[in-house]
Structure 1
Amino acid sequence: MTSSAAKTIARIPQSKSPYKPGNILPITFSDCDLVGNPDLHHDSLVISMQVGTSNVRIILVDGDSVVNLIMLDVLKAMKINEDQITKKSSVLVGFSGETRNMLGKIYLHTYAEGVASYERFGILDCLSSYNVFLGRPWIHNVIVVPSNYNQCIKIPTD
């Protein structure tokens, strides 16, 4: 990691959600949260946010995924040092039974809606419509409540 990248990460507030068992805050969605006309879309929940030291677009929030994934091309565009990558091949099995080999894993900071976290990402080298897949590990760690219908996420924060 470069010294400028380390300084940027150090400036990211490391706040956590105040949610703890026994301190449950109600989160609701209403018509004012709707983005566009819900009758005209059946879209996936796609967001943009800071990953590492870069603002990344076209991130799929996928509550059915058991891993967070990032594409190798995205890491190259972020100019991530290969020393940060733990090389270990693993096999992912998709919904339709197809398999993909992960190249390894990397830990990166994420920052969304005032909440920062440190997440593990599997690295894939393949063509994809999405740059990053955020699965249940990120959703549970940050305590995100995603709504495909409203096309937004909510995070309990102060």
Structure 2
Amino acid sequence: MSVARLPAESNNPKPKRAKVEIRPVLGFSDEDKIKTIQPHNDALVVTLMIGGYDVKRVLMDQGSIVEDMYPDLYKGLRLKPEDLTTYNSPLISFEGKTVIPKGLTRLPIQTCSEMVEVNFIVVDAYSPYTVIMARPWLHALEAISSSLH
């Protein structure tokens, strides 16, 4: 009759566990709706780190196809005319007017651990926002914006 024996414990340390990368997730739950008046159709306005600065009044607009930057932020970031490259396509403003852009500039946006370079079209027009972030940036981050919360 044979007896199965368990291997003797060795002096080897415990096996190493695989490192699990925990990535921060920006998400929302029903608890986030507690202090909001429902239903609502408010715009999604956030703060982003653009070019190394916290930039407030950033509108998330899934209906737009270009990222727009307005003069107050352009001046606030201390950008100069030589920081612009030519951009000749006219845009349509919120009022339905044709706007000729001043040019295009490329700046990094930091979101958690992700750094994404974004092309901003600089427009000399009034806006209550400093920047409008559009679909290309959301797609680059593989993100979905939610105005519900």
**Short-chain TM bin:** 0.7 to 0.9
Displacement, 1:38? 4.0
Matching of residue 79 in structure 1 with residue 78 in structure 2 = yes
Displacement, 1:97? 3.8
Query: Residues of 2 paired with 1:82 and 1:110: CA distance?
Result: 21
Structure 1 stretches of 4+ with a deviation exceeding 3 A read 94-97
AA partner of residue 88 (structure 2): S
What's the TM-score once normalised by structure 2's chain length? 0.74
Displacement, 1:35? 6.5
Task: Summarize the alignment of residues 10-25 of structure 1 with structure 2, pairs less than 5 Å apart.
Answer: none
Displacement, 1:133? 0.1
Q: After superposing the two structures, state which structure 1 stretch, 129-138 or 89-98, moved more.
A: 89-98
Query: Residues of 2 paired with 1:115 and 1:38: CA distance?
Result: 32
Query: Residues of 1 paired with 2:43 and 2:141: CA distance?
Result: 20
AA partner of residue 108 (structure 2): H
Displacement, 1:117? 0.4
Describe the shift of the 1:32–1:147 C-alpha distance in structure 2 as closer, same or farther (beyond 3 A). Answer: same
2:87–2:121: 8 Å Cα contact kept in structure 1? no
Percent identity between matched residues is 27
Q: Unmatched 5+ residue regions in structure 2? A: 1-22
Q: From the CA coordinates, give the structure whose radius of gyration is larger.
A: 2
AA partner of residue 132 (structure 1): V
Task: Summarize the alignment of residues 64-103 of structure 1 with structure 2, pairs less than 5 Å apart.
Answer: 64-94=63-93, 97-103=96-102
Displacement, 1:29? 4.3
Describe the shift of the 1:44–1:117 C-alpha distance in structure 2 as closer, same or farther (beyond 3 A). Answer: same
Task: Summarize the alignment of residues 120-135 of structure 1 with structure 2, pairs less than 5 Å apart.
Answer: 120-135=119-134
Q: In structure 2, what is the equivalent of residue 54 of structure 1?
A: 53
More helix, by proportion: 1
Query: Residues of 1 paired with 2:92 and 2:72: CA distance?
Result: 21
Q: After superposing the two structures, state which structure 1 stretch, 53-62 or 80-89, moved more.
A: 80-89
Q: In structure 2, what is the equivalent of residue 111 of structure 1?
A: 110
Query: Residues of 2 paired with 1:128 and 1:122: CA distance?
Result: 14
More strand, by proportion: 1
Ranked by relative contact order (alpha carbons within 8 Å, sequence separation 6 or more), the top structure is 1
What's the RMSD between the two structures over aligned residues?
2.3
SS of 1:117 mapped into structure 2: strand
